[in-house]
Structure 1
Amino acid sequence: MKIAIITITKNSRDLASKILENLTDDPTIIGIDIFHKNVKKTLKSVFREYDCIIGIMATGIMVRNICGLLESKLEDPAVLVMDDSGKHVISLLSGHFGGANEITKRIAEITGADPVITTATDVHGKLGIDSLAKKYYLDIENPDKIKEINSALVRDEFPELFVPSRFEFIFDDPQVNSSYNLTKSNKNDFKVLFGDSEIILRPKKFVIGIGARKDISKENVQSAITSAMNTLKLPVQRIDMISTGEMKRNEKGILEVVSKFDISLKIIHLDKLKNFNYRGYSKSSFVKKKFGIYGVCEPAALIAAGNDSELVFKKTSFNGVTIAVAVASND
């Protein structure tokens, strides 16, 4: 998640600095930028470039300035508003698919603010269909039916959720079980049915990128992947592919883990890594000196995920192994 924080007062700028300091080392936060004043102009420039916008200002200021920028609940970024005394933080827009509700809770933990979440499914303890899609990295094919499905959840009715066999781990998710009737499916996509309403959820391509020191052990590689997935609150079974650079194609520890997990391995040629251009990815002078490239795990993940892929877990080191995660729609 890329976050833009917009401030107006000195107090709000101090709060923004505190948030930045506490989120910098979070691997799921890809980047944070702070903008001071010029709210209208800043919002126009950041609204489509960031995944989340935090305005430390009066709610009215934010509402008046975003109303002309809105498109849809699946395209708009998460928008939060916080008062400059840090008493309340409000999930204002894209609470589910945009992730505003979750980041609101996180900001509240950091600042001691009271989190304000008003989405009906959350208030009633249900997992909205758009929240399910966000949690497990699924595209929603027909979002016009979201309202009907979520309304049924709020009424304490249980839509039918058809789960692909490779996602059977979802049967162990208590949030899902308390919201849906679950049925195993031999299809590749999820299907949600309630009355005449149907939603198709298509899994996004989910790729782990790996870099590692020479002769890395299987145990270290496995531990690194598991740790990254735990941070993302996902099981290893959600991984579609593992990717690394050609200089690591014979690395025994990586090959053994790939075999154990029964996940496909994609080797990225050195030329592709050299020519890779992605704004903001981590660059290592050591890797550049040794292999002539700036990095392995992030570009490997992004290249393997394909066009329009994005990082959801930035380069993180785990005892000799570096891990990054990228996802992309399977169009």
Structure 2
Amino acid sequence: MPNSSANQVSVIALTQIGAALARKIQGQLPISQLVLPEKYAVDGEQSFGRCQFKATCQMLFKTSDVVICIMATGIVVRTIAPIIKDKTVDPAVLVIDERANHVISLLSGHVGGANAWTNRIAKLVKADPVITTATDTEHVQALDTLAQRFDGWYPDFKYATKLINGRLAAGDRVNIYIDSDFRGIVTDLTGFTEINEVADDRFDVPLVIISDKTGYPKRQNSIQVIPRVNVLGVGCRKGIPYDAMQAAFVAFCQQHGLTWRSFYQVGSITKKQHENAIHYLAATLNIPVKFYSADNLQTVADHYSQSAFVKKTVGVGNVANTAAELASGSRTFTDRFATDEVTLAASRKKLKVDDS
């Protein structure tokens, strides 16, 4: 049986003809593993023995992002049924017949990416993609797919997704407002009616807002998708109290009108890696923190104003801005925010623009 380490894509087959197709697919996917029955595996290929298929397939389901099954749909359904949890955590599952006539998006079509993978694999093996989710069959954009493109989060995921996707599939109007910082990332808004200002919105029509900002009007049928694209750079004095760190962060977000959910990482200097207040803030936001050496921060320090005192103390004249830039790969879009004990700055990672 294969090892239990996580893999991006796993390809599993049952028959000799299926094994040949599995090799063809796996060979064109850079980050993937091939798993075959022992009697068809060659040259050290990962394999499973007699009566081990169920356990192997279920293990791949638990450890992979995508599972491509070359076999009958019924076999796959019966095998994974006991361990299916929720579309927010289950992997994408595809089923392909051994003659590569059809590629079926079986599970986690949007959130897990099965629909996109189905189209990709179908092109690879020249098969017909079989996708049954309503928004795809009606050729409209889906809220959960759209949110993924922005690395976005939104509340009441299941309810909101069902509400918006149901209206889109039925051809009912759904308005969308995209913050100017995020326009052009997604060009396919089929099914949505784009508005230029929230003030232009009709209150009788559901509204999707894509923004990392606060201050939008709250109402029953509006959903804000918050792109989780911001990095918080942090500098601080030694031994700063938790409440001082939290208060500084709240004031920083208020000053720049940023929602706390838009942050996906905290960055600081290695010298501060034992400051509990930094770890407390990252834990409170439920995001990771990464520390960089002064030498690394110095490589981008010329992009920002610097303090001679800070440079003498920690080895670089600006911690907040430089740490944020190194973490995201982009210069900060906020000025350096400072209290007596804390400095903060935010940068934003670049999202890939649709090339469709």
Distance 1:266 1:96, change over 3 A: same
What code does the residue aligned with 1:51 have?
D
The correspondence of residues 38-117 of structure 1 with structure 2, limited to 5 A, is: 38-117=52-131
Rounded Cα–Cα distance in structure 1 between residues aligned with 2:216 and 2:74: 37
Aligned pair partner of 2:156 in 142, 158, 164: 142
Match of 1:221 in 2: none
What code does the residue aligned with 2:178 have?
V
Rounded Cα–Cα distance in structure 2 between residues aligned with 1:325 and 1:5: 31
Match of 2:188 in 1: 175
Aligned pair partner of 1:202 in 226, 230, 243: 226
Match of 1:266 in 2: 323
Cα offsets for 1:224-267 (capped at 9, x unmatched): xxxxxxxxxxxxxx998999964554547x977xxxxxxx6538
Equivalent residues, number: 229
% identical aligned pairs: 31
Partner secondary structure for residue 82 of structure 2: coil
Match of 1:317 in 2: none
What code does the residue aligned with 1:78 have?
A
1:192 positional shift: 12
The answer to whether the 8 A contact 1:149-1:197 is kept is no
Match of 2:311 in 1: none
Match of 2:272 in 1: none
Match of 1:21 in 2: 27
Rounded Cα–Cα distance in structure 2 between residues aligned with 1:84 and 1:149: 37
Distance 1:13 1:52, change over 3 A: same
Match of 2:256 in 1: none
The answer to whether the 8 A contact 1:73-1:98 is kept is yes
1:65 positional shift: 1.1
Distance 1:162 1:95, change over 3 A: same
TM-score normalised by L of structure 2? 0.54
Match of 1:125 in 2: 139
Cα offsets for 1:256-281 (capped at 9, x unmatched): 7xxxxxxx65389xxxxxxxxxxxxx
Rounded Cα–Cα distance in structure 2 between residues aligned with 1:118 and 1:3: 22
1:72 positional shift: 1.4
Structure with larger RCO (C-alpha < 8 A, sep 6+): 1
TM-score normalised by L of structure 1? 0.58
Match of 2:287 in 1: none
Partner secondary structure for residue 68 of structure 1: helix
What code does the residue aligned with 1:20 have?
Q
Rounded Cα–Cα distance in structure 2 between residues aligned with 1:77 and 1:190: 33
Partner secondary structure for residue 2 of structure 1: strand
Rounded Cα–Cα distance in structure 1 between residues aligned with 2:73 and 2:187: 34
Q: Is it true that 1:164 corresponds to 2:183 in the alignment?
A: no
The answer to whether the 8 A contact 2:67-2:92 is kept is yes
Distance 1:81 1:265, change over 3 A: farther
Rounded Cα–Cα distance in structure 1 between residues aligned with 2:82 and 2:68: 17
What code does the residue aligned with 1:65 have?
T
Q: Is it true that 1:9 corresponds to 2:15 in the alignment?
A: yes
Structure 2 unaligned runs (5+)? 1-6, 38-51, 199-208, 232-261, 268-289, 304-320, 329-348, 352-356
Distance 1:189 1:51, change over 3 A: farther
Which range is displaced more, 77-86 or 8-17? 8-17
Cα offsets for 1:143-167 (capped at 9, x unmatched): 1221111010011122233433421
Q: Superposition RMSD on alpha carbons, in Å?
A: 4.0
Which range is displaced more, 7-16 or 83-92? 7-16
Task: Determine which structure has more spread, i.e. the larger CA radius of gyration.
Answer: 2
The answer to whether the 8 A contact 1:73-1:97 is kept is yes
What code does the residue aligned with 1:166 have?
D
What code does the residue aligned with 1:17 have?
R
1:57 positional shift: 0.5
The correspondence of residues 232-271 of structure 1 with structure 2, limited to 5 A, is: 246=293, 248-251=296-299, 265-266=322-323
Distance 1:46 1:182, change over 3 A: farther
Rounded Cα–Cα distance in structure 2 between residues aligned with 1:325 and 1:56: 36
Match of 2:33 in 1: 33
Rounded Cα–Cα distance in structure 2 between residues aligned with 1:51 and 1:11: 25
The answer to whether the 8 A contact 1:158-1:179 is kept is yes
Rounded Cα–Cα distance in structure 2 between residues aligned with 1:62 and 1:325: 38
Match of 2:48 in 1: none
Structure 1 unaligned runs (5+)? 25-30, 208-237, 257-263, 269-296, 302-323, 327-331
1:125 positional shift: 1.3
1:90 positional shift: 0.5
Rounded Cα–Cα distance in structure 2 between residues aligned with 1:156 and 1:10: 45
